């Protein structure tokens, strides 16, 4: 009889070993997945401590400079005039490329005469804008620094046609070259 009681125990231990291996394997896989997820979360969502220190320092520097900007903004306030969308063919390449821009100009708010002149001569400003843009080639509008050069060129041409003052700036709210 003692032999019978030993047999079931022997069979039970052989079955327990594969079950234990499976459980250990599953636990190991779960731990690897959790560790990988934790590492991925850390690198993806957590910014390094150095970046936050730099960001805090930059924001504190901007806060100290902000009063200077506010005083300048109070001295010269600008009004804006939305000129809308302009689509022109670019010169060269047989007219195969075009430029579409939405333009907003700014002028000093305290210059009422300039505001009236801009509203009265809006059609002339648009003509100057279109004429200047049509002279540009594809490389003129796509090269490095081309947008700033384009703004300077337009600012100069438009201000040449104004008598009561100068516009302060030109802004593109949309810029598409095709």
- 74-117 pLDDT, tens digit per residue, is 567 888 988 899 998 888 766 688 889 999 999 998 888 988 99
Question: Which is more confident, 105 or 36?
Answer: 105
Label residues 82-117 b or e (16+ Cβ within 10 Å = b): ebeebebebeeeeeebebebebebebbeebeebbeb
Q: Please report, to the nearest 10 degrees, the dihedral formed by the alpha carbons of residues 15, 17, 22, 26 taken in order.
A: 140
Residues 102/85, Cβ–Cβ less than 8 Å = yes
User: Taking the domain 77-177, which CATH number applies?
Assistant: 3.30.479.30
Answer whether residue 123 shows pLDDT above 50: yes
Q: Which of 15-19, 69-73, 142-146 has the lowest mean pLDDT?
A: 69-73
Q: How does residue 61 score in pLDDT terms, banded at 50, 70 and 90?
A: very low
Q: How does residue 38 score in pLDDT terms, banded at 50, 70 and 90?
A: confident
The pTM of the full predicted model, rounded to 2 decimals, is 0.54
């Amino acid at each position: 009889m003692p032999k019978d009681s030993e047999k079931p125990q022997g069979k039970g231990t052989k079955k327990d070993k594969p079950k234990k291996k499976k459980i250990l394997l599953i636990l190991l896989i779960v731990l690897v997945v959790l560790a990988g997820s934790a590492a991925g979360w850390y690198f993806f969502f957590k910014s390094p401590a150095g970046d936050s220190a730099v960001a805090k320092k930059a924001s504190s520097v901007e806060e100290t400079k902000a009063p200077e900007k506010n005083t300048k903004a109070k001295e010269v306030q600008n009004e804006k005039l939305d000129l809308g969308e302009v689509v022109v063919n670019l010169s060269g390449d047989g007219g195969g490329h075009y430029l579409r821009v939405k333009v907003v100009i700014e002028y000093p708010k305290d210059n009422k005469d300039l505001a009236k002149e801009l509203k009265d001569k809006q059609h002339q400003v648009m003509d100057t804008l279109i004429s200047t843009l049509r002279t540009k080639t594809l490389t003129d509008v796509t090269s490095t620094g081309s947008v700033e050069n384009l703004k300077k060129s337009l600012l100069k041409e438009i201000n040449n046609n104004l008598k009561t003052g100068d516009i302060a700036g030109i802004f593109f709210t949309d810029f598409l070259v095709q």
